[in-house]
Structure 1
Amino acid sequence: MKLRALIIVLSLLIFSCSNKEAKVFTETDIQIIPKPERLKLGEGHFEFNKNTVFFTTDVSQSAAAQILIDKFKTVQGWDLKTVETLPKSNYIQFKTSEDIKKEGYKLLAENNIITIEANNFNGFLYGIETLRQLLPVEIESQVKVESIDWVIPNIDIVDAPRFKWRGLMLDVSRHFFQKEYIKKTIDRLAYHKMNTLHLHLVDDQGWRIEIKEYPKLTQIGAYRVDQEDKPWDGRYTPSLDEKATYGGFYTQDDIKEIVAYAESRGVNVVPEIEMPAHVTSAVASYPELSCLGKPVSVPSGGLWPITDIYCAGKESTFEFLENVLNEVLELFPSKYIHVGGDEATKTNWKACAHCKKRMKDENLNSPEELQSYFIKRMERFISSKGRVLIGWDEILEGGLAPGATVMSWRGVKGGLEASEQGHDVVMTPGTHCYFDHYQGPMNTEPLAWGGNTPVSKVYEFDPIVDSMSDEQAQHVLGGQANLWSEYVPTESHSEYMIYPRIAALSETLWSPKKDRDWLDFSYRMESLFKSYKYQNINYAKSAYTISSDAKVNDATNTINVSLKNEFPVSDIRYVLNGASLDSTAIAYSKPIEIKATTTIKASLYKDNKPVGKVFEKTFNYHKAVGKKVVYNTKYHNSYKGKESTNMVNIIRGTKNFHDGQWQAWLVNDMELTIDLDEEIEIQDVSVGTMEHQGPSIYFPTQIEVLLSKDGKAFKSVGKIDRPYKNNASIILKDFNIHFDPQKARFVKVKAKNLKKTDKGGDTWIFIDEIVVR
């Protein structure tokens, strides 16, 4: 009996040593982005080890499996195998099923077997990408890792995309990115279950694709004079004899490599060859392509208006474009060929003898109809090659080519119009899909094009507009993000602008609309950020950045300041007036009431410690707060700010001139009077202004302050003259007028508008607060 008992004890010890404690998963452990269509969590788990194999029956299945095999080789050194004979256990099997939607998949994980069913390569690929997100985030490590249990929960997933076009546009013309970065981007698109990479290969500032019949396109057009040390809109026009050194291009072999790599990741590469505008780089290479035929240089930076465009009257223009496209079509198997078609200033067409003759011969009544002729002609050529022309929504102007697809960027109007006419559309409105916009408070972010498109706003995007009929909705192929690169000079900066916003877009384009929930998504983003870190992605942490929203109580002249970031549930803490942000900081739970000049400092806290960027803002009380303002010249209806209280509400405008805190005057001068209610002593008046010359916002050329006791007789107490200066930056500036202390009840402020730019355009002045001390 003693021997038997000893055997039993030893057996129990051996059993307990050889079996790890079972991992128990809950639904909060499942943090897949984009969210699957249907998911059911089971009991138990599947564990990957060095003996796990992949059972495949064709090349596409093996190609999908290889992505995960390569991951395990990096993080564990395992050389996992694909096999053609079904094992007994510890394997991932692939099954082809015609019943599953295109790009969809089923994933069933059981204790010893994982099954992925799909009907094409993309479906198998996306099943693998889901496995990557079910595994510990260390699977994304670029180096070997230790002490990780490579387990996933037993789970049943049925998944398929909502839209078939899920894209990202990279502008490689304004700033050139190397082939290796393009391939990294393709990998990351596949990780997010995105299937389209739109390459903007041609623009004024650079021609980026080798065309063998026209070698000057890359010899000349691919390079510009290096002015990268200057702001984009502050670069001079180079002379023709200056050496051009900045740029680069993809050889045809590079393009073939990129396209083949994209195919291995389920990504279709759509080339964009701009026409008839945004082609100064081509005109610099072959001046005869333009109406004027005169030599020009490749612009180093901002160019507006764009007048050196292809001549629509010369047959040689169309011969050139068809020859270029013939080579492009050989390189890109994409069904869609993008021709741009946007922002063509037709000044030269109106004066060109060739264009006039074309309009007469074709019975065209306007330059817009001439552009329509141009696009329709190119559409016929592209269609004859078995492809589909796609262009920006300007191709609607003058009449849309019969087989064309429209990419709607100026809001959704173009998509509505095209779909109503029976054309397919890709929705990419600037409001939600332009990744060159800021994604956090402008004062905390790198310089961007303008506008504010945080990740939460991207998550609100839906390609189908509520007003669309069911028939129109059938024409919506999907959506796309666009990253224009005027202000994106490096690959690291490009990553910063793309991630994590591309994750939000991926879910809006993949997941059922009814299942979308920002709180749930923001929770899953925490795991995604860890994955990004292991993938060495320079992702933006702007969603953590604290911003404020202040409201003035006009009756009491107090301010209620709300603090927030993009995460609905955040531990934000704050201090006032120079106190230290430490463990004693006040937990934010409701708006902070301010009754005097106050500085608020705040931070997001994790594990009881401040993390991320510190928010700091001072709210300055002054003698005019809440007083009556009479506008002697009314502000423009487009920029009303807070109307009658705007100039004396303490709340300052930001570099985002759409933030609702600015009042503006177009061409007109500003003149207003503040009534202080009674005579008080004052000695200082400052005027808050902005300059952002890109959208024609200029500092006033003169500011004058006048005082009065009765509101009738005013006396000037100071004047600032500021002649126009060229400035390519965004600047916020308080113009201060100081004078000897004196009593007054009324303060009149005048600001003179520049009125016209050096190119003849109308100018704005923007004012946000008048501080009286």
Structure 2
Amino acid sequence: MSQKAHLLVFILTITLVGCQPKSTKVFTEDDITILPKPKELQLNSGGFLFTENTKLIVSKDSQKEVFQFIKNAFKNVSGWDLEFVESAPSKNYIQLNLDDTLPDEAYTLAVTSNHITIKAKDNAGFLYGLETIRQLLPESIESKSIVNGVNWEIPNISVNDEPRFKWRGLMLDLSRHFFDKEYIKSTIDQLAAHKMNVLHLHLVDDQGWRIEIKKYPKLTDVGAWRVDQEDLHWNSRLSVKAGEKGKYGGFLTQEELKEIVAYAASKNVEVIPEIEMPAHVTSAVAAYPELMCFDNPEPVGVPSGGVWPITDIYCAGKESTFEFLENVLIEVMEIFPSKYIHIGGDEATKTNWKICPHCKKRMKNEKLHDVEELQSYFIKRMEKFINTHGKKLVGWDEILEGGLAPDATVMSWRGVKGGLEAASQGHDVVMTPGSHCYFDHYQGPQDDEPLAIGGYTPLSKVYEFDPVVEGMSEEDAAHVLGGQANLWSEYIPTPEHSQYMIYPRIAALAETVWSPKESRDWGDFSNRVKHLFKRYELQGINYAQSAYLISKSTEANLDTKTITLSLQNEFPKADIRYVLGEGELNDDSKKYSTPIKINSTTNIKAGLFLDGKLSGKVFKDTIVFHKAVAHPIEYIKKYSDSYQGVGPYTLTNAVRGTTNFHDGQWLAWLDDDMEAIVELGEEKTISQVALGTMENQGPGIYFPTKVEVLISMDGKVFETVGTIERAYVKNGNPVLKDFAISFEERNTKYVKVKATNLKKAPNGGGTWLFVDEIVIK
């Protein structure tokens, strides 16, 4: 080879080695789907392309820990092991620069084709800047294995971002169902990904004590285990006697909890322990009965399910109660460096306090007028102890009753009233109203969802949440620390179910507590969250697609004997298509745009179409027009005022109720039988009568034990044409059932239906009988 040729090869080699790959993609605003939405963002031309030679610039070891999740992600999807270096090369690097002028947790992000710079005053800001980069990368960055053919490229942008509130939390209830260390750590990962910074662990409740306390080993030997009745509905489980050996449960050791706390700290997540008092403590008093009222209290067992009213609570009169709690909290505070200790304080039924000689003596000595003031004494005393250890007390809004402890922080869950009151008194507040923040509620059409405690808190409702509420002055609003989602676990037995209830609702909550309120836009969020769904899938998260589910609303016109059917899901401008009758649902099906009028028995199928393809579960329903539709009905004993459906015609309007007994299509009788007479007007030939009913044993709704159908020509003298009897059967889930009675064809003008109420539940409570339609054929 000639000298000239050698020189040409050398120059070409130098050129190739020194050249940073150039971005070829033209990015648009639609490519940016960051969630929660940054405070300020500007899209610039060009992009930064990650390669195996991209360097991670660190100035101290703690920054290596912040970088680790990005480093691990690239190792998973590309096999690259991105290198840490202390000084920046000329190009192709990410650098973290300290900037003490920025607020806590804030960051600025500057992406150019040459390099990426994140500025922050702390590792929290660096972490959130890197999480933003993660969401700018292609969704396949979340994969667990090598991905080929992907350009790991992000747009050139400038971001200035900071949280609106400093408390952005999630509560996990470990008591009702136990979740282990690994699940908690995976939840911490997701909190960081959503720029959330508080994990509130509900470690104590009636059904389980979940934290090791070395001074009181029976708290976990006894209190962490309950009799396994997982096959029964939470509120229909049988009472447990003292001493019965439990097999369901578990607890976290102090070493496991310290590991969780340290892991959370690396993700800028503060773990706040909740040690309930004075109520929700049956698991504790089952282990140490002397903590209850009276000198020789009756021992109790650890409940397997719901407890109400909650009367087995700590005695507020015995000094030994406070000694016990102080000893427990000393060990708790050694594990959790958190600024806050949550002490619950909710739902205490103080029946025993009113008659306990120890409590009465305490009230006399302390000049307390009633048991509400005694609870206030209890909370204030515990707060003083907590304060002496450099911590702050947090409690549910019931701690307001009887007078609030001087430096307490209030979690307002019974709506926002408690938060308003506490803020007006100069106390810090965390808003967590059940209406928007309780993730144990249903999030989609109840018939299509797993069993939940009740309520309805869909994704769009969570997105409406705002911690600063109407009626707050500017001074009051300054006391609002932020907001929090709560996942109570009575009906959530597995990690997969827990994920289903958390995601994607946590994404909606994250935006409400991070992003500026004026940037809130449901349509924009709806688009961005769909991209997040793909990331959840790649991460193996069992997220809910309930927002896609189609639901119906119906309205009956009894004059024209027509039903108007509306279809919807949560997303605006959804492409819903439908077919009536027996046709196939496909991309040629009619697009839904206006309510559908129906005047005869009709099958309907509907589905959501994304990019022209059917997506998710197909909605199916049958509107049945039968011989009782729009005919008058007489009730021998009127239904309950609590469940009036749409009035007397509820049972003859052709609209069927769902397993959501609050859907407005049910009539109900408490401890009473149902007896109703349908007047057909003219003589008709019939051969079957069915009664639509529901069973949901948790809230005390039971199938009838007997259904009887009678007919009459004059409305006075009735003849029985059929009977069904059904004995009580244990059932853990809501179920709809038509009790159908068939018989040889008969002519009649009146049809009477009787349904016999169970009248006494197995647990001794009252019983509801729910009915939604009398179908006559």
Normalised by the shorter chain, which TM-score bucket? over 0.9
**Contact 1:137 1:531 (C-alpha < 8 Å) held by counterparts:** yes
Distance in 2 separating the partners of 1:357 and 1:392: 27
- Find the aligned partners of 1:647 and 1:311 in 2 and give their Cα distance: 51
- Residue 701 (structure 1) shift: 5.0
Measured in 2, the distance between the counterparts of 1:154 and 1:428 equals 37
| Residues 686-716 of structure 1 deviation map (CA, whole Å, 9 limit, x = unaligned) | 2222222322323345555454545556555
- What does residue 356 of structure 1 align with? 360
1:522 is aligned to 2:526: yes
Residue 402 (str. 1) matches residue 406 (str. 2): yes
The letter of the residue matching 2:119 is: E
Cα distance in 2 for partners of 1:125, 1:560 equals 52
Instruction: Find 1:556's aligned residue among 557, 560, 579.
Output: 560
CA separation in 1, counterparts of 2:508 and 2:121? Answer: 26
1:565 corresponds to which residue?
Answer: 569
| 1:215-226 equivalence runs, <5 A | 215-226=217-228
Q: Distance in 2 between matches of 1:357 and 1:717?
A: 67
Partner Cα distance (1:527, 1:94) in 2: 27
Q: Distance in 2 between matches of 1:396 and 1:679?
A: 64
Deviations, residues 557-583 of structure 1 (Å, cap 9, x unaligned) = 122222222222333232333333345
Q: Secondary structure at the match of 2:35?
A: coil
Q: 2:665 aligns with which of 652, 655, 661?
A: 661
Alpha-carbon distance change, 740 to 418 in structure 1, aligned in 2, over 3 angstroms? farther
2:460 matched to 1:456?
yes
* Alignment match, 1:38: 40
Query: In structure 2, what is the Cα distance between the partners aligned to 1:628 and 1:542?
Result: 38
Taking the TM superposition and a 5 Å limit, the aligned residue runs for 1:419-568 are: 419-568=423-572
SS at match of 1:659: coil
Equivalence map 1:686-725=2 (5 Å): 686-700=690-704, 703-711=707-715
Distance 1:120 1:390 in 2: 26
TM-score by length of 1: 0.93
What is the Cα deviation at residue 721 of structure 1? 5.6
SS of structure 1 residue aligned to 2:44: strand
Q: Which of these residues, 190, 199, 202, is aligned with residue 200 of structure 1?
A: 202
Q: CA deviation at 1:617?
A: 1.1
CA distance change for structure 1 residues 393 and 669 in 2, over 3 Å: closer, same or farther?
farther
* Secondary structure at the counterpart of residue 301 of structure 1: coil
Alpha-carbon distance, 1:185 to partner: 0.6
SS in 2 for 1:66: helix
- Residue in 2 that maps onto 1:319: 323
Give the superposition deviation at 1:59: 4.7
In the superposition, relative to structure 1, how do residues 771 and 468 fare at CA in structure 2: closer, same or farther (>3 Å)? Answer: farther
3-state SS in 2 of match to 1:551: strand
Query: Structure 1 residues 663-672 or 246-255, which shifts more?
Result: 663-672
Q: Any idea what SS the aligned residue of 1:451 has?
A: coil
User: Structure 1 residues 745 and 464 mapped into 2: Cα distance closer, same or farther (>3 Å)?
Assistant: farther
Match of 1:131? 133
> Which segment drifts farther, 726-735 or 334-343?
726-735
SS at match of 2:689: strand
- The C-alpha deviation readout for 1:357-408, integer Å capped at 9, x for no partner, is 2222223333322222221211111122221111112222222222111112
- How many angstroms does 1:48 deviate by? 1.4
Q: CA deviation at 1:673?
A: 4.0
Deviates most, 212-221 or 367-376: 367-376
- Segment of structure 1 superposing worse, 98-107 or 664-673: 664-673
| Aligned residue in 2 for 1:236 | 238
State the AA in 1 paired with 2:521: D
Separation in 2, partners of 1:715, 1:364: 66
Q: After superposition, what is the alpha-carbon deviation per residue over 1:255-284, rounded to whole angstroms, capped at 9, x for unaligned?
A: 111101100000000001111111121112
Give the letter aligned to residue 649 of structure 2.
T
Distance (Å, rounded) in 1 between the aligned partners of 2:521 and 2:649: 37
CA 1:707/1:368 → structure 2, altered by over 3 Å: closer, same or farther?
A: farther
> 2:232·2:731 contact (CA, 8 Å) conserved in 1?
no
> What is the rounded CA distance, in whole Å, between the counterparts of 2:486 and 2:583 in structure 1?
43
Correspondent of 1:581 among 578, 585, 602: 585
Answer whether contact 2:201 2:274 (CA < 8 A) is retained. yes
Relative to 1, partners in 2 of residues 1:698 and 1:427: Cα closer, same or farther, differing over 3 Å? same
8 Å contact from structure 1 (residues 233, 728) kept in 2: no
Residues 20-56 of structure 1: CA deviation (Å, up to 9, x unaligned): 6711000001001111111111101111112222333
Contact 1:705 1:719 in 2 (8 A): yes
Alpha-carbon distance in structure 2 between the residues aligned to 1:225 and 1:631: 44
Q: What is the correspondence of 1:722-737 to structure 2 with a 5 Å cutoff?
A: 727-737=731-741
Deviates more, 1:264-273 or 1:311-320: 311-320
Q: Distance in 2 between matches of 1:696 and 1:355?
A: 34
Corresponding residue SS for 1:650: coil
Partner Cα distance (1:510, 1:632) in 2: 56
Contact kept in structure 2, 1:216 and 1:285, CA below 8 Å: yes
Aligned to 1:260: 262
Which stretch shows the higher mean deviation, 715-724 or 652-661?
715-724
Whichever residue aligns with residue 57 of structure 1, its letter is S
Contact 1:288 1:294 in 2 (8 A): no
1:373 is aligned to 377
Taking the aligned partners of 1:398 and 1:155, their CA distance within structure 2 comes to 54
Q: How big is the shift at 1:74?
A: 2.3
d(CA) in 1 for partners of 2:245, 2:752: 54
**1:627 equivalenced with 2:631 (yes/no):** yes
Farther-moved stretch of structure 1 (128-137 vs 484-493): 484-493
- What is the CA-CA distance between 1:648 and the residue it aligns to? 1.6
Structure 1, gaps ≥5 residues long: none
Question: Which runs of no fewer than 5 residues in structure 2 stay unpaired?
Answer: none
1:67 is aligned to 69
Letter in 2 for 1:416: L
Q: Distance in 2 between matches of 1:714 and 1:361?
A: 70
* CA separation of 1:424 and 1:633: change in aligned 2, threshold 3 A: farther
Q: Secondary structure at the match of 2:377?
A: helix
User: What is the correspondence of 1:589-628 to structure 2 with a 5 Å cutoff?
Assistant: 589-628=593-632
Count, aligned residues: 765
Q: Secondary structure at the residue paired with 2:169? A: strand
Instruction: Tell me the residue number matched to 2:274.
Output: 272
Q: Alpha-carbon deviation of 1:431? A: 1.7
SS at match of 2:301: coil
Secondary structure (helix, strand or coil) at the match of 1:132 reads helix
Deviations 1:734-759 (A, max 9, x none): 23344554444444445455555466
Give, as a single letter, the amino acid of the residue that structure 1 aligns with 2:655: I
Q: How far apart are 1:189 and its partner, in Å?
A: 0.3
1:726 Cα deviation after fit: 5.0
Q: 1:745 to 1:418 in 2, by over 3 A?
A: farther
Tell me how far 1:196 sits from its aligned partner. 0.4
Q: Check 1:719–1:357 CA distance in 2 against 1; reply closer, same or farther (3 A cut).
A: farther
In 1, distance between residues paired with 2:483 and 2:711?
A: 57
Name the TM-score, length of structure 2 as normaliser: 0.92
Overall identity of the aligned pairs, in %: 63
Partner of 2:392: 388
SS of equivalent residue, structure 1 residue 688? strand
Distance in 2 (CA, whole Å) between partners of 1:297 and 1:312 is 21
* Distance (whole Å) between structure 2 residues aligned to residue 564 and residue 625 of structure 1: 26
What corresponds to 2:115 in structure 1?
A: 113
Q: Is the 8 A contact 2:244 2:301 kept in 1?
A: no
| CA RMSD between the two structures | 2.8
Whether 2:82 is the aligned partner of 1:80: answer yes
**Equivalent position amino acid for 1:698 in 2:** Y
